[in-house]
């Protein structure tokens, strides 16, 4: 595998942010290319958040001109609340988070944070305000300390340790022979999916963003690890505006709002209970999961959604 950090270190803050946030390299490089096309407006201003209400207003989007991915997507995440997006694979869930991070420009409609259109903002300030816990965290061939502090170069050791403690990964790090200096990544220690997600959570805690995007892992962690991570995410989502891209039902039931996407359109919205009562697509997905979980003898929250 290519060593990511050598070429990318030349590319500046924006690319470092992207590197921090993405799951795999193919996607990373396609986004790097894409990002070069998005420039700050000459009069771009820094984002000022006060609660961080997020609004998607009649958003249309396509990656390629021939194939539309999102159709008239319209929703509001009230400041400090959690909205979860569910839907079959390919319905456009992760695309919403890419648009909120402004990796791509919308083709129709607009996205605002506290009333400020993303196109009027500096990308640096936008990305500073948003923390992403991705599906699969990229670890760099460096120390675990570096990996946690990544994106926050001024962080002190105390702050790094506090974030690691809050993400329940401190004890694990201390148990390693080299502690926080232990090398991880391709040529170092290989961390499990859950450990990598904890590193991502620690990174996010250190960043302390007003808006949180959680792209839930597609492959289930073991239930105990999953529960611990859910509990931590609930904690960091408290008082932040949170968008959860849900692949399983475990993160969804508590959300203030659930959006059901189908082929790029919001077809249902509401709370878990109200969606079950609507007896539509969400209720079907839920029933299917429950049936699958019954077959497998697991809890419904452990099985996959999309
Ligand atoms: P999953 O649950 O499988 O992660 P999703 O609902 O998050 O799926 P998206 O990743 O948002 O789906 O993708 C929506 C559609 O956009 C898919 O059909 C996908 O093939 C397409 N797509 C995603 N990224 C790109 C890209 N960079 N270029 C072109 N098409 C893309």
Within the chain, which residues score under 70 in pLDDT?
Answer: 1-37, 151, 217-223, 225, 250-251, 297-306
Distance, C-alpha 217 to centroid of its chain: 10
Residues in the ligand 1 pocket, defined by CB under 6 Å: 30, 63-64, 69, 87, 89-95, 247, 306
What is the model's pLDDT at position 174? 96
Neighbours of 43 (CB within 10 A): 6
Instruction: List Cα–Cα distances, 149 to 111, 130, 153, 206, 207, in angstroms.
Output: 29, 16, 6, 7, 9
pLDDT tens digit sequence for 256-274: 999 999 999 999 999 999 9
For the record, the structure tokens of 235 come out as: 């904690």
Question: Considering only CA atoms, which residue is closest to atom 10 of ligand 1?
Answer: 94
Ligand 1, residues 27, 59, 63: which to mutate, most atoms within 8 A of Cβ? 63
pLDDT of residue 223: 65
Tracing tokens 């060593």 back to the chain, one arrives at 3
Give the model's pLDDT for residue 141: 87
Distances (CA, A) of 104 to 38, 95, 117: 7, 9, 14
Tokens of 202: 């620690």
- Angle formed at CA 138 by CA 132 and CA 141, multiple of 5 degrees: 135
Is residue 69 helix, strand or coil? Answer: coil
- Judge if pTM exceeds 0.90: no
**Ligand 1 midpoint to CA 37 (Å):** 20
Mutate to test the pocket of ligand 1, among 24, 27, 61, 90 (most ligand atoms within 8 A of CB): 90
Residue 254 gets the label, from left (phi > 0), alpha (psi -120 to 50) or beta, of: alpha
pLDDT of res. 11: 44
For residue 8, the model assigns a pLDDT of 43
| pLDDT for the residue 20 | 40
The residue whose CA is least distant from atom 30 of ligand 1 is 63
With beta carbons less than 8 A apart as the criterion, state whether 40 and 123 touch.
yes
- 135-183 residue pLDDT tens: 777 788 899 999 999 868 789 999 999 999 988 899 999 999 999 999 9
The span from the CA of 81 to the CA of 239, in Å, is 7
Q: Of all atoms in ligand 1, which is nearest to the CA of residue 91?
A: 6
Structure confidence at residue 306 (pLDDT):
46
Beta-bridge partner residues of 258: 84, 270
Using the atom order of ligand 1, give the atom closest to the CA of residue 31.
27
- Burial of residue 127 (CB within 10 Å: 0-12, 13-18, 19+) is buried
């Amino acid at each position: 595998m290519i060593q990511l950090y050598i070429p990318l270190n030349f590319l500046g803050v924006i690319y470092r942010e992207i590197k921090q946030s993405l799951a795999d390299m193919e996607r990373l490089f396609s986004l790097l290319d894409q990002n070069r096309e998005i420039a700050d407006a000459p009069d771009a201003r820094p984002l000022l958040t006060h609660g961080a209400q997020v609004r998607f207003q009649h958003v249309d989007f396509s990656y390629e001109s021939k194939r539309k991915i999102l159709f008239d997507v319209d929703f509001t995440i009230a400041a400090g609340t959690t909205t979860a997006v569910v839907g079959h694979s390919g319905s456009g869930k992760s695309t919403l988070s890419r648009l909120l991070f402004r990796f791509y420009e919308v083709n129709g409609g607009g996205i605002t944070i506290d009333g400020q259109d993303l196109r009027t903002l500096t990308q640096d300030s936008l990305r500073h305000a948003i923390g992403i816990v991705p599906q699969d965290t990229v670890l760099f061939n460096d120390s675990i300390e570096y990996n946690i502090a990544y994106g926050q170069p001024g962080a002190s050791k105390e702050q790094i340790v506090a974030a690691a403690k809050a993400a329940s990964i401190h004890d694990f790090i201390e148990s390693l022979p080299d502690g926080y200096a232990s090398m991880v990544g391709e040529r170092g220690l290989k961390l499990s999916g859950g450990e990598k997600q904890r590193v991502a959570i620690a990174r996010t805690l250190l960043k302390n963003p007003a808006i949180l995007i959680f792209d839930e892992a597609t492959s289930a962690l073991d239930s105990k690890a999953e529960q611990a991570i859910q509990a931590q995410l609930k904690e960091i989502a408290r008082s932040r505006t949170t968008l959860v891209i849900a692949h399983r039902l475990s993160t969804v039931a508590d959300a203030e709002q659930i959006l059901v996407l189908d082929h790029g359109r919001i077809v249902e919205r509401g709370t878990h209970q109200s969606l079950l009562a609507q007896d539509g697509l969400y209720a079907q997905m839920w029933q299917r999961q429950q049936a699958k979980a019954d077959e497998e003898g697991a809890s419904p929250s452990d099985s996959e959604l999309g």
